[in-house]
Amino acid sequence: GAGVSQSPSNKVTEKGKDVELRCDPISGHTALYWYRQSLGQGLEFLIYFQGNSAPDKSGLPSDRFSAERTGGSVSTLTIQRTQQEDSAVYLCASSLVRAREETQYFGPGTRLLVL
């Protein structure tokens, strides 16, 4: 596609439910990033994929968060047993080749509200 796409654009869920957020990076981009942005806050790094592997998962807030990437393309971020503090905009970004090109292109984000 022309840019990074994310779905759903908005998600309202009840506390304790699981949610799955999807990111489709720009075709050919090998690096993919997940960030979280709470209301009025800066971007919080969550996880980075190079290809299908995530070298560093330490940015994930808790063990309720997991992410995977398949086929070097689509990535899903799963939040289990959601809590109200998980409410935020979840942004995905992709870049071409991380070693030489740092420019990240962001998707429109998924706004998650946990009631």
Residues forming the site for other proteins (CB under 8 A): 33, 35, 41-45, 48, 50, 55-56, 59, 89, 91, 98, 102-109, 111
DSSP 3-state assignment of 78? strand
β-strand 88-95 against 31-37: which pairing, if any? antiparallel
Q: Which is nearer to other proteins, 82 or 90 (CB)?
A: 90
Q: How far is the CB of 80 from other proteins (least distance, A)?
A: 23
Q: How far is the CB of 45 from other proteins (least distance, A)?
A: 5
In angstroms, the CA 19 to CA 58 distance is 20
Q: Which is nearer to other proteins, 64 or 105 (CB)?
A: 105
Q: How far is the CB of 102 from other proteins (least distance, A)?
A: 5
Alpha carbon 81 to its chain centroid, in Å, reads 17
Q: How far is the CB of 49 from other proteins (least distance, A)?
A: 9
Q: Which is nearer to other proteins, 90 or 114 (CB)?
A: 90
The DSSP result for 10-55, as a single string, is: EEEE-TT--EEEEEEPPTT--EEEEEEE-TT---EEEEEEETTB-S
